[in-house]
Chains A and B, each alone.
Chain A
Amino acid sequence: MSINEIEQQIVEEFSIFDNWMDKYQYIIDLGKSLPIIDEAAKKEENLIKGCQSRVWLDCKTEDIPAEEIAAADGEKVRLVFSADSDAIITKGIISLLIRVYNHQTPKEILKSDLSFIDEIGLKSNLSPTRANGLVSMIKQIKLYALAFEEKD
C-alpha cells in the first residue's frame, strides 16, 4: 500500500470515535501492541532529541528485488523502522508513523506530507511539548530516508 492509502485507512479508523478519550484509548492500545524493540537498539544514538519522554527509533533496510527497482523509481532499498518509548501514548503515535512509513522507499518517505496527522486532529490535541516531539520523530524518520536515498 502507498503512504497515502495507509494514511486514508488511519483517518477512517479514527472517524468512528467521536471523543478524544476514545481516540486516546485507541492510541494507547496501538502503543501496547507495538512490537518490542531490540534492547540493543535502545542506545544513545537512537534517542530522538526534542521529545519530553524518551523515544528510541531504529532504522534498518530491506533490499528491493532487482526486477522491482525500476518501478521503485530507482530506489534499491525500503526502510524498516522499530521504536520504543517510556510513554505509552508516545508509543502509540510512533506506531502510527511506523505503520505509514514501514516498507516504503526513501523517496516516497521524503515526498510525504503526512496529512493524516492534521486530519485526525492529532497535532492540535497533543500538548505543545508532545506536538514538538511528534515533529522531532517525523524529522528523524526523514533524516533516515535522506541517508538511504539513492542519489542520482
Chain B
Amino acid sequence: MNRILENIRALFPALSQKMNGVPLVYLDNAATSQKPVEVLELLKKMNGEVNANVHRAMYELSDRSTELYEGAREKVRQFINAPERGNVIFTSGTTASINLVASSFCRRFLKAGDAIVITADSHHSNIVPWQLAAESIGAEIRLLPINTSKLSSCDYGAKGANCGTSQCVNGELLIDKLEELLSDGKVKIVAATHISNVLGLVNPVERIIKISHAYNVPVLLDGAQGIVHEKVDVQALDCDFYAFSAHKIYGETGVGVLYGKREILEEMPPYMGGGDMVGTVTYKKTTYAELPLKFEAGTPNFIGASSLKPALEYAEYLREPEVRKVLKEEESKIKRYMFNALACEVGDVEIYGVGDDGFESEKKIPLFSFNVKGCNAGDIAQLLDKMGFAVRTGMMCAEPLLDSFGVNSVVRASFASYNTVEEAEKFIAAINRAKSMLL
C-alpha cells in the first residue's frame, strides 16, 4: 500500500477493529464516515473540559466554547467559500437544513397554485419536507426525471466491461426537461440533489442553477454526498442554498450546515423559536437576532458543530496536490476494478447509476449500488456482515427512485478516502462467496 494511504488509514482507529473475528471492511461511507483522531480528540476535549453553553455567559469556559463553535463556523465558511459567517447556519443535519428552507422559505415566498421542482434521484430528505410544505400551502411538486434506460455492460465499449451478462441502469438527470418545468412561471424553488446516495453520479448543478436563475428561481442543493466528493464553492456555483451533514464528512453525528444567501435568509421568517435567536423579547412581541443566530434557536449542538473544524481540515488535507494525486489514482483503480468485477467476475448483476460515460467518468463517485440476479439484497448483506463487511442494503431512504428501477432493495458499497483496492478485491471475493451460497 502507498505510504500516504497507510498514513491516512492510521488516522482512523475504527478501521483497525475486527468484526465477527475478521478485519472490518467499512463500505457504508455514504451513510456515515469514520472519524479521524483529530476529530475524536476535539470531541473528547469538549466533552471533558470545554463543556459550557455558547454565546451566553461571561466566564472563561463559555468563551472558549464559543470560540470553538464560531471557529468551526469560520472553517465551514472558508471550506465552501461563503461570503460571511452569517451565511452559515448550524442545524442538526442535511434533513433539518432542508426542512428549515422548505418550511420557512415556502411560508414566505409561495402561495396556493405555485410549484416546487425536486430531482427524481432525491432521497427522502429532499422529498418529504417539500411535500409537507406544498400540502400546507396548496402548492404542487414537479419532478425533474432521470434516465432509467438499461444497457448491457458491454455496450460501454472501452469505457465499460467486456462481458454481456450484466445490466447497467443509466440514472443521469434529464436536465433538458428543466426548462419545460419552469416555463409557466409557477415554480418558486428548485431543490436538486448534488450527488445521489444511490446512483453516485455528480449532477450538472451549474446548469441547473443557470437555467433556474434565468427564470428567477432560486436553487437549493442537497449536498449530503456532494460536499464529500466535490469542491464546493457556493459563490462560484451561485447556488442559493446548500445543505450538508457533518457525519458524512468525518465529523460528529447530529450536526449539519445550511448555507444561504443573505438577502433570502433575511427575508425568511425564523423556523423555530427559543433562546439565542432573539433580539428583545416581551410577552407581546419579539425581535430576532441577526444572521445566523436567527435560525439557531435553543442551545445548539456546540460540541458536534465544533467537530467540523478538524473534520474539514482533514478534508482539506485530502485535497493537497500530492495526497489528491494518490487518492485519485486509487479511486480510479477502485472504480475500474469494481465495475469490471461486478459486471463480469460476479456476473448477472444489475448496476444502478452508470451514466452515459461509464465508470471512468469523473462524474461517477466510488459508490456502487447493485443487485445480483436471483439473490435477495438482505441475504447478501447478512452474509457479508459475517465476513466482516459493512455495506448498506434496502431502499437507501430513496423508495421512489428504487421504484423507478422496479426494485425494492439494492446492495450499496460506498468507498471513502481510507478505502483501498485491496478492500475492493476482498469485497468482490465475498460477494462471489455469498452468491455461490445463495444460488
Please, which residues of chain B bring their CB within 8 A of the CB of A89? 376, 378-379, 382-383
Q: Given contacts A53-B409, A130-B378, could you give 18 more A-B pairs where the C-beta distance is less than 8 Å?
A: A21-B386, A24-B386, A24-B437, A28-B438, A52-B378, A52-B394, A87-B378, A88-B376, A88-B438, A89-B376, A89-B379, A89-B382, A89-B383, A90-B378, A90-B379, A125-B386, A127-B382, A127-B385
* Contact residues in A for B118 (Cβ distance below 8 Å): none
In the assembled complex, which residues on chain B have CB atoms less than 8 Å from the CB atom of A146? none
The answer to whether B382 and A24 touch across the interface, beta carbons within 8 angstroms, is yes
The CA of A90 and the CA of B377, in the complex, are separated in Å by 12
The residue on A at minimum CB distance from B436 is: A25
Contact between B382 and A126, CB atoms less than 8 A apart: yes
Cβ-defined contact, B386 with A20, below 8 A: yes
> Which residues of chain B have C-beta atoms less than 8 A from A38's C-beta?
none
Question: Which A residues lie within 8 Å of B376 (CB)?
Answer: 53, 86-90
Q: From A53, which residue of chain B is reached at the shortest CB distance?
A: B378
Count class of interface residues, chain A: 10 to 19
A87 CA / B409 CA spacing, docked (Å): 11
In the bound complex, what is the Cα–Cα distance between A88 and B381 (angstroms)? 12
- Provide 7 A-B residue pairs closer than 8 Å at the C-beta atoms, listed in order of the A residue: A24-B382, A24-B386, A24-B437, A53-B376, A53-B409, A87-B378, A89-B378
* Shortest Cβ distance from A51 into B: residue: B378
* Inter-chain contact B394/A130, CB cutoff 8 Å: no
Cα separation A100 to B376 with both chains bound (whole Å): 25
Interface residues of chain B, those whose CB is within 8 Å of chain A, are: 20, 375-376, 378-379, 381-383, 385-387, 394, 409, 437-438
Residues of chain B within 8 A of A53, CB atoms compared: 376, 378, 409
The complex places the Cα of A20 from the Cα of B352 at a distance, in Å, of: 31
Complex Cα distance, B378 from A125, in Å, reads: 14
| Bound CA–CA A28/B437 (angstroms) | 7
Least Cβ distance of B433 to chain A in Å?
A: 8
Give chain B nearest CB distance to A14 CB in angstroms.
15
Q: Is the CB of B379 within 8 A of A88?
A: yes
How many Å from the CB of B77 to the closest CB on chain A? 39
- A100 to chain B minimum Cβ distance, whole angstroms, is 22
The residue of chain A having its C-beta at the shortest distance from the C-beta of B374 within the complex is A88
A150 to B19, CA, bound (A): 48
Say whether A25 contacts B437, CB under 8 Å.
yes
Could you tell me the distance between the alpha carbons of A89 and B383 in the complex, rounded to whole angstroms? 9
Query: How long is the Cα–Cα vector from A70 to B385 in the complex, in angstroms?
Result: 49
If A24-B437, A25-B437, A28-B437 touch, does A87 touch B386 (CB 8 Å cutoff)? no
B383–A24 touching, CB < 8 Å:
yes
Residues from chain B with Cβ under 8 Å of A25 in the complex: 437
Contacts of A28 in B (CB 8 A): 379, 437-438
The 8 A-B residue pairs with the shortest CB-CB distance, nearest first, are A87-B376, A89-B379, A87-B378, A20-B386, A87-B379, A53-B378, A88-B379, A89-B382
Q: How far is the CA of A53 from the CA of B378 in the complex (A)?
A: 7
Give the docked Cα–Cα distance between A127 and B387 (Å).
13
Residues of chain A within 8 A of B387, CB atoms compared: 21
Docked pose: A86 CA to B408 CA in angstroms:
11
Q: Distance in Å from the Cβ of B188 to the closest Cβ of chain A?
A: 38
Chain A residues within 8 Å of B409, by CB: 53
Residues in chain B near residue A88, CB distance under 8 A: 375-376, 379, 438
Alpha-carbon separation in the docked complex, A28 to B382 (Å): 12
Residues of A within 8 A of B379 (CB): 28, 87-90
| Most interface-central of B375, B385, B437 (chain A CB within 10 A) | B437
The closest CB in chain B to the CB of A52 belongs to B378
* Distance to closest chain A CB from B390 (angstroms): 11
Q: Complex formed: what's the CA distance from A24 to B383 in Å?
A: 8
A52 to B380, CA, bound (A): 14
User: Which residues of A120-134 have CB atoms within 8 Å of chain B's CB atoms?
Assistant: 125-127, 130
Q: Which chain A residues numbered 3 to 45 have a C-beta less than 8 Å away from chain B?
A: 20-21, 24-25, 28
